[in-house]
Amino acid sequence: MVVRFWGTRGSIPVALTAPDVKRKLVSALVKAAGRNLDTPEKARAFVDAELDFAVSHTFGGNSSCVELDTGGPDYVLCDLGSGARVFGNHVLASRGPSGQTFHVFMSHVHWDHIMGFPFFMPAYLPGNRVRIYGAHAVLEEAFRRQNAAPSFPVDFSRMGATIEFVPIEPEREYDIASLRVRAKRQRHSGDSYGYRFSSAGKSVVYSTDSEHALTDLDETASFVEFFRGADVVIFDAMYSLADAISVKADWGHSSNIVGVELCQMAEARQLCLFHHEPVHADEAIERLLTETRRFEEITRGDRKPLLVTAAYDGMEIGL
């Protein structure tokens, strides 16, 4: 299984600005001073080996959309944030306009998680099938409303693909697209649902837009059980711990620190920080990642190391 990230930003898409690009260029040029980088090959090797991630890359700006590539014929996605636009164009370019089936598991219907659908080209093309799974009663209504006048020019009824809304119940096991799937209700405004996917002995948890009260021991135990032994936990780490327990308590999101604690208790293998705060520049997200790794190290005790990564648009995790 390969996990592929098409959108990793929380709440609203963001773009790199001209000052951002200039800051990266200036850092790279200063670091390259005195080096004889007179061919693209030498320059590329320098960029790969010697520049910080925040200088040579960007975490990216699209909102939540994650693909689980099982190697099967159907596509599997979590959420349809603005990253779904880029994913849809990739599908058209690589597999052509029709004949595809998409299984989409929705955490919830907040705008940042559905806003890519009006720009998801395969949904307009006859011969494609889109099955949208979710536990919210308002699932279909939310999608229809965002494609309706006066907010959007093309009505939902004019989308040419076969689009089905499939209700699922939390805490029940389903077999869909060669994956075993279970949903879990999470603490968030209007509720959100996390998903645990398993296939061929590997498991991935997608848990975004979820606030945790570690003081609630039953709730904590239920998440530890949900994350138990997962190969990857994709986790809402929008806030730092200080944010999460002060001004932004009850805003429905979690922190990097809570992610480490839950994954350590669950003996998960990898924590992948996700749903990045839109005000954070690349340097701030990289700093959060470094701090999270340090926190994992000093709290590890005699447990196995927990790998900590931060998702970026275009990142792949092979399992």
Binding site for Zn ion (CB under 5 A): 110, 112, 209
DSSP 48-115: HHHS-HHHH------BSEEEEE-SSSSEEEE--STHHHHHHHHHHHHH-SSS-EEEEE-S---HHHHT
The least CB distance from residue 189 to Zn ion, in Å, is: 7
The least CB distance from residue 108 to Zn ion, in Å, is: 6
Nearer to Zn ion, 104 or 161 (CB): 104
Nearer to Zn ion, 264 or 274 (CB): 274
Nearest CA among 174, 146, 205, 304 for reference residue 3: 205
Decide if 238 contacts 10 (C-beta within 8 A): yes
The least CB distance from residue 61 to Zn ion, in Å, is: 14
Nearer to Zn ion, 72 or 170 (CB): 170
Tally of CB atoms within 10 A around 249: 13
Nearer to Zn ion, 112 or 282 (CB): 112
Nearer to Zn ion, 110 or 187 (CB): 110
The least CB distance from residue 213 to Zn ion, in Å, is: 17
The least CB distance from residue 218 to Zn ion, in Å, is: 23
Tokens for 190, please give them. 């209007």
User: What residue is closest to Zn ion based on CB?
Assistant: 110
Work out the burial of residue 174: count CB atoms within 10 Å of its CB; fewer than 13 is exposed, 13-18 middle, 19 or more buried. middle
